[in-house]
Amino acid sequence: MDHSDNHHHGAWTMDQLSRLVRPERNEMMPIAMVLSHVHAASGSTVVDVGAGLGWLTFPLASLVGSHGRVVAIDPSTDGIQAIKVKADQDQSGHIEARVARAEDTGLPDECADCLVWHTMYHDVEHRSLALSEMYRIAKSGAHWVIVDWDKRPMDIGPPLSVRMAAEEVEMEVKQVGFRTVERWRGGPVTWGLTLIKP
């Protein structure tokens, strides 16, 4: 099921990451739509996997408030450093940024109230390991929000050959124990899934 031979994997450069934060991204992939499906109350711990430059990290931090915690995870040292700098500037002490992969977050068991994967499911090299890792770090009752590219030809985004339909992703995550709460439109070019760990 992995597509390690025909698509980029691993840490992105600052140039690649910078292209992800252009203003038009929010038109194609509305942040508000994602946040409306994140079941995170004030005081919650949210793990933002594949955080990049913190495009969702900082809105998530506002959502959980100063008593909550957002853990931003990305294999890119550049990206994580950028998040740390911005968190310091914003005095966002409840944001923790760490260089790590979805397959091995380094987080303790059952620490997360919510997990967020935005447009990175198709890009994970060892998905079975990563899915098991998400199950391990999620609390019972934790929600997992996955957003990824529609599986249809378009001029932007990853090659069609690596894209996955929401139904395909549902089948994979169910195998490790997650249950679907809702399938939704993530925006003009993306689908969304909300899952729960029973």
pLDDT, tens digit (0-9, with 9 covering 90-100), for 116-168 = 999 999 999 999 999 999 999 999 999 999 999 999 999 988 999 999 999 99
Q: Is 50 helix (H, G, I), strand (E, B) or coil?
A: coil
Q: How far apart are CA 122 and CA 190, in angstroms?
A: 12
Which residue ranges make up each domain of the chain? 27-196
Report the pLDDT value the prediction gives residue 16, as an integer from 0 to 100. Answer: 60
Report the pLDDT value the prediction gives residue 102, as an integer from 0 to 100. Answer: 97
User: CA dihedral defined by 72, 78, 79, 81, rounded to 10 degrees?
Assistant: 50
Spatial neighbors of 109 by CB under 8 A, at least 6 apart, are 136, 137
Q: Which residue has the tokens 């499906």?
A: 37
Question: At residue 26, does pLDDT exceed 60?
Answer: yes
Least trusted range by pLDDT, from 18-27, 32-41, 81-90, 143-152: 18-27
Question: At residue 3, does pLDDT exceed 50?
Answer: no
Question: With contact defined as beta carbons under 8 Å apart, do 51 and 83 qualify?
Answer: yes
Question: With contact defined as beta carbons under 8 Å apart, do 105 and 133 qualify?
Answer: yes
Can you name the CATH fold of 27-196?
Answer: Rossmann fold (3.40.50)
For residue 28, the Cα-to-chain-centroid distance in whole angstroms is 16
Report the pLDDT value the prediction gives residue 181, as an integer from 0 to 100. Answer: 96
- 81-110 pLDDT, tens digit per residue, is 999 999 999 998 999 999 999 999 999 999
Q: Of 27, 67, 28, 30, whose CA–CA distance to 45 is shortest?
A: 67
Percentage of the chain beyond pLDDT 70 is 87
Question: At residue 8, does pLDDT exceed 90?
Answer: no
This prediction has a pTM of 0.88
**DSSP structure class, residue 72:** E
Q: Which two tokens stand for residue 11?
A: 């840490």
Report the pLDDT value the prediction gives residue 27, as an integer from 0 to 100. Answer: 73
Q: Of 173, 79, 80, 181, whose CA–CA distance to 124 is shortest?
A: 173
* pLDDT class of 15 with cuts at 50, 70, 90: low
Q: How far apart are CA 137 and CA 142, in angstroms?
A: 9
